[in-house]
Amino acid sequence: MTVPIATMKSDDKQPETLAILVGGGPAPGINGVIASAAIEAIKCGLRVVGIRDGYRWLVEGDTGHVVELKIEEVSRIHFTGGSILRTSRTNPARDEASLGRVIDALTVLGVRYLICIGGDDTTYGAARIAERTRGRIGIVTVPKTIDNDLPLPENAATFGFETARAIGAGIIESLMEDARTTSRWYLTISMGRKSGSLALSMCKSAGATLAVIPEEFQDKKFDLALVVDTIVGAIIKRRTSGHDDGVAVIAEGIAERMDVGSLASAADSHADAYGHVHIADIPLGIVLRDQVRAALKQLGIDATVLAKDIGYELRCAKPVPFDVDYTRTLGYGAVRHLLSGGSGVLIAVAGGRVTPVSFEQLLDPNTGRIRVRTVDVSTESYQVARSYMIRLELPDFEEPALSRLAEHAKLSAAAFKARFLPSVRATTDGS
């Protein structure tokens, strides 16, 4: 892609302005995008400003939270975690008045180009701004989320995911060693509101005992008991091989797929600016821990079960080299696409090439929102992960495995089958 090196306003000969903002939760590599985009834009003759706190101030019509970015200030930030511009979950498209104030504020700031770094919600807000400004403000988004839930070409990862997986897998490895040393089980809750990608990949990379992700379950809504029995069944199966320890990795997104009544504290949680339940307010690990403990006690099985959340410590981590490399290409590609006249797209990388994806392609026609990429449980990638897990499967309900498992659960073969077979049949592998 080639563009003119300088882009100047014809009337006053002042450089045009490119603004950068960050929306949603943090992810490793944000600063790499900021640095790469700012450096390339300045080299092409643009003035670059960073908008602090995402859309938070813009929706109020406040233009005072802006900082000019210079090459010397951003040239070494690409290997740091967090966001030098901070971030927020403010929804610019929550209503027409808010959207109008955002556009007015950008106009006052003289913004000709806007790069929005974020996930599905930030992309949706950018799509609405692009729709309203009709090219007057060139807008692109850069895909950021450790959840890995944006539908990118060639199933490419979102930036930040690889760092989160690497660090998360390291934490899980330590928990596995602790579990082995102290003869206990950890129920590890992983971030992933809509997709179980992070939970599954951390489990697979670390070799954890099992992962439980929402994509496994056939029905849109399911009861907490199915998850509890999946974990209890894994504990029993592992005990038949002489081991009383393990680590289960559970995607937090199962909370959104459950019947609200099956989560004791769900009613006390609040929704964010995009209408999502604050999963962090639901003590999923504690609820699961208590339910698993109760189920084991009922079966007369003595086991130590603890809950551990993994998530916030991943989001502002120092990016691994993959994400440093990746974000530099994304930031560069965002600027070059804008200066070539493009707008209204998400910047992706496919086959080593910058690949713009139009906002229209990303929208779900049924909801009007950005489509969410979930784990495809029909792929070999998932099947390999599942085959290495220790959890009940259909062959376990045939003899001689059935009687051996039932004996460890202090149940008859018939009672064991009646209790645990539904949790297996509820998953895609058990269909």
pLDDT in tens, 301-312: 999 999 999 999
Domains, the chain: 17-159+319-362 (3.40.50.450), 165-311+392-430 (3.40.50.460)
pLDDT average, residue stretch 237-257: 95
The residue length of the chain stands at 431
- The Cα–Cα gap between 199 and 299 comes to 28
- What is the pLDDT at residue 367? 85
Options 53, 120, 121, 147, the catalytic residue: 147
- Across the chain, what does the average pLDDT equal? 91
pLDDT for 167: 98
Cβ(126)–Cβ(139) below 8 Å: yes
Q: By percentage, how much of the chain surpasses pLDDT 70?
A: 91
Residue type, 244: D
Rounded average pLDDT over 121-130? 91
Identify the pLDDT of residue 277: 52
pLDDT 10s digits, 377-418: 999 999 999 999 999 999 999 999 999 999 999 999 999 999
Q: Which two tokens stand for residue 374?
A: 């979930």
Give a three-class secondary structure readout of 381-400: HHHHHHHCCCCCCHHHHCCC
**β-pairing, 47-51 with 66-68?**
antiparallel
**Helices 161-182 and 321-339 sit at what angle, rounded to 10 degrees?**
160
Answer whether residue 7 shows pLDDT above 50: no
Residue 8: what pLDDT?
40
Q: What is the pTM of this model?
A: 0.90
CA angle at residue 419 from 414 to 425, to 5 degrees? 105
Residue 5, pLDDT > 70, answer no
Residue 261 pLDDT > 80:
no
- For residue 12, the model assigns a pLDDT of 55
Residue 330: is its pLDDT beyond 70? Answer: yes
42 with 65: CB under 8 angstroms?
Answer: no
- Tell me how far apart the alpha carbons of residues 143 and 412 are, in angstroms, rounded to a whole number: 52
When mean pLDDT is compared across 44-53, 62-71, 99-108, 265-274, the lowest value belongs to: 265-274
* Chain segment 140-180, per-residue pLDDT in tens: 999 999 999 999 999 999 999 999 999 999 999 999 999 99
Which token pair is 286? 């504690």
Whether omega for the bond prior to residue 400 falls within 30 degrees of 0, making it cis, is yes
* Predicted pLDDT of residue 278: 56
Active site residue 149: no
* pLDDT 10s digits, 183-195: 999 999 999 988 9
